[in-house]
């Protein structure tokens, strides 16, 4: 029983570093509102560490076949629509759970339990941090169609964005049916973006956005 529960300090360090390094990379991705965010990157990093530990301990090449098979299952829960991509974190959980299963199957029971607890912390507690980052730093694309072709209207919009303590990047300006249309990326706090949308709704010079 003692042998089955034995876990080396190296294994713990590997899992801990995987959480740390994956977290640092994930924070950067989350801050930039990328699809694969904070928790997803951590789970992938931890899963990779666990698969590597199993491969090193067992020397069993069959482990790689499990990785490939689980990858196909994970891909099946990822969905893309006009709004965005969903299911990435679920796919990462499927993948990392396979790693935990392989660790347990390799008689590393304690490592499997600790890894499970680490994954639960990532999913439950870290989601609060992920939500906070999402709240204070958000990107939104505004495609604004004006009632006329007056360029001063666009300048007014950019001034409003700046006045609401938001950052903007004008991607494209074009004409549609004699009216000017502008695509603008706006970055900032979620509440300020919502407030900006309310301001746009009241502006007579804006036809739609």
pLDDT tens digits for range 40-92: 777 777 877 777 777 777 666 555 666 666 666 556 656 666 545 667 777 77
Residue 2: band (very low, low, confident or very high) from pLDDT cuts 50, 70, 90? very low
Q: Which of 160, 123, 125 is nearest to 142 (CA)?
A: 160
Quote the tokens at residue 28. 């950067």
For residue 157, is pLDDT > 70? yes
Q: Which residues, 6 or more positions from 88, have their beta carbon under 8 angstroms from its beta carbon?
A: 35, 36, 40, 78
pLDDT in tens, 159-174: 888 888 888 888 788 8
In CATH, the number for domain 138-208 is 3.30.70.260
Long-range contacts formed by 70-75: CB under 8 A, 24+ apart: 70/94, 70/95, 70/98, 71/95
To the question of pTM greater than 0.85 for the whole model, the response is no
Distance CA 180, CA 153 (A): 9
- According to DSSP, residue 48 is labeled H
- According to DSSP, residue 37 is labeled -
C-alpha separations of 62 from 54, 65, 102, 133 in Å: 11, 5, 11, 40
pLDDT of residue 172: 80
Domain ranges of the chain: 2-134, 138-208
For residue 194, is pLDDT > 50? yes
DSSP secondary structure string for all residues of 58-90: H--THHHHHHHHHHHHHHTT-EE-SS-EE-HHH
């Amino acid at each position: 029983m003692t042998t089955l529960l034995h876990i080396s300090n190296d294994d713990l360090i590997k899992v801990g570093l995987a959480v740390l390094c994956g977290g640092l990379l994930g924070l950067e991705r989350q801050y930039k509102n990328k699809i694969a965010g904070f928790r997803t990157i951590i789970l992938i990093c931890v899963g990779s560490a666990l698969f590597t530990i199993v491969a090193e301990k067992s020397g069993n090449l069959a482990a790689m076949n499990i990785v490939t098979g689980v990858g196909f299952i994970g891909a099946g829960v990822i969905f893309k629509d006009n709004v965005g991509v969903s299911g990435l974190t679920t796919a990462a959980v499927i993948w990392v759970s396979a790693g935990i299963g392989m660790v347990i199957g390799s008689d590393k029971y304690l490592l499997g339990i600790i890894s499970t607890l680490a994954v639960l912390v990532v999913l439950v507690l870290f989601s609060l941090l992920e939500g906070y980052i999402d709240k204070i730093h958000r990107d939104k694309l505004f495609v604004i169609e004006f009632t006329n072709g007056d360029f001063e209207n666009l300048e007014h919009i950019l001034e409003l964005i700046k006045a609401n303590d938001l950052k903007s990047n004008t991607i494209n300006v074009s004409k549609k049916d004699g009216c000017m249309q502008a695509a603008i990326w706006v970055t900032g706090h979620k509440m300020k973006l919502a407030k900006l949308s309310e301001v746009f709704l009241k502006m007579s010079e804006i036809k739609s956005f």
